[in-house]
A and B are shown apart, each in its own frame.
Chain A
């Protein structure tokens, strides 16, 4: 009896095409690694500056999550033809550096809300969006290793976002603190908007979408 079967099972609906050529995927991955590095560094640095014990311990745990993501991206870069990962470990543009510097700026012991808002209400949602766009857009066959890393990272991002949001909700217990959180979020949203996001303009494909509309396609 023949054992010959179709190479793809009937339920395997993956297709070859994807939005990103190798260079684009590598560029994004390099931006991700840069962002994850700056993030894990500052979370580690903040541990000593927050008096709230529960926040301190959560930051310690999350420091490792983002360091591990940086390591995943570091290992992926040579597989995307970038033999010198440091060359690609860069921010998308200067405006994004300004945004990350602002996220990392608070230091005082009474600025826990400002620290957490920057990471859990602005940066991590942006990361979730950019990673999801990459995950949904890249070729599920040719770029499967990136997809696997994106899924691991996203699982952490969702859980970390929830941890951070719950800490924030428990810390924001007066109308004044609501105002502080809103002010901080607005300030950082404007900065990240100016940068275009984790991978610069097009982080969520806006440029591509706009081009398609403009071309009438």
Chain B
């Protein structure tokens, strides 16, 4: 088997439909929908489309967990012993088990919420972040950016479960949140250990993380205002080892991403 499996070769059964994230954001219908302002975008139980939005998000979590599982698995395989330390691979193997459980939880939660596998499209940009040929950059992109996003998503979903009086959703999201905090800590530890004597590589890794964080904030998906569906989970990010400065930086990246999305939307409207 070859090292480094491209995103296009991810194996799926016939229920899965691959979609491109840029298609969703460049869809001209998006601007028209945004025009029909029906209230804040933040996940809330009293919104008319709350059930549909939460099902869609849960499916997104499910496919994200598959890709996180695949990414951690590939990190076990893609690097020789001299490229990635034994202990790092052990951590990634542990993450495989965690992500596998998260897939199981997400499938069952999806059924619980009334949706099914393949009901929504799958964008594979999460796995794309896990394809970096440098293990440090891969760990930073996946464990700090991707798993950091997972902290925000699970905390938002947990709060949504509380506000919609769904104890099963709240219970499961809380358990997954605990695992994600561990994964982010793992990423931060390995970033520090592997770049201790190589500040230039550390800076490259952090730059890669900023890029991935920006992608994950695309179109204002994540942020701290009422207009962001997913809220930045400051408290859990601190537990995972992010400094206040680092969380502020992610908040700023999210604000920029939202401003860019609004500008794109206005340009699309003017053109069309």
A positions within 8 Å CB-CB of B: 37, 40-53, 56-61, 63-64, 66-68, 70-71, 74, 104-107, 109
**CB-nearest residue of chain B to A49:** B11
Q: For chain A, what secondary structure do more than half of its interface residues adopt (helix, strand, loop), or is it mixed?
A: helix
Residues of chain B contacted by A42 (CB below 8 angstroms): 1, 77
A44–B99 touching, CB < 8 Å: no
Smallest CB separation, B209 vs chain A (Å): 22
B1–A106 touching, CB < 8 Å: yes
Q: Could you list some 18 contacts between A and B, CB below 8 A?
A: A42-B1, A43-B73, A44-B74, A44-B75, A44-B76, A48-B70, A49-B11, A52-B13, A56-B66, A56-B100, A59-B73, A61-B96, A61-B100, A64-B94, A67-B89, A67-B94, A70-B86, A74-B86
Q: For chain B, what secondary structure do more than half of its interface residues adopt (helix, strand, loop), or is it mixed?
A: helix
Residues of chain A contacted by B34 (CB below 8 angstroms): none
Having A42-B77, A57-B100, one finds 4 other A-B pairs with CB under 8 Å, namely A44-B92, A49-B11, A56-B70, A67-B94
Residues of chain B contacted by A57 (CB below 8 angstroms): 69, 100, 103-104
Smallest CB separation, A36 vs chain B (Å): 10
Q: Indicate which residue in A40, A49, A68 contacts B1 across the interface (CB closer than 8 Å).
A: A49
Residues of chain A contacted by B86 (CB below 8 angstroms): 37, 70, 74
Smallest CB separation, B16 vs chain A (Å): 9
**CB-nearest residue of chain B to A66:** B93
A45–B77 touching, CB < 8 Å: yes
B168 contacts chain A at the CB level, 8 A cutoff: no
**CB-nearest residue of chain A to B77:** A45
B positions within 8 Å CB-CB of A: 1-2, 5, 9-13, 66, 69-70, 72-78, 81, 86, 89-90, 92-94, 96-97, 99-101, 103-104, 117, 127
**CB-nearest residue of chain A to B1:** A107
Residues of chain B contacted by A59 (CB below 8 angstroms): 73
A56–B69 touching, CB < 8 Å: yes
A60–B1 touching, CB < 8 Å: no
B76–A41 touching, CB < 8 Å: yes
A44-B11 contact, Cβ under 8 Å, with A57-B103, A59-B73, A60-B99: no
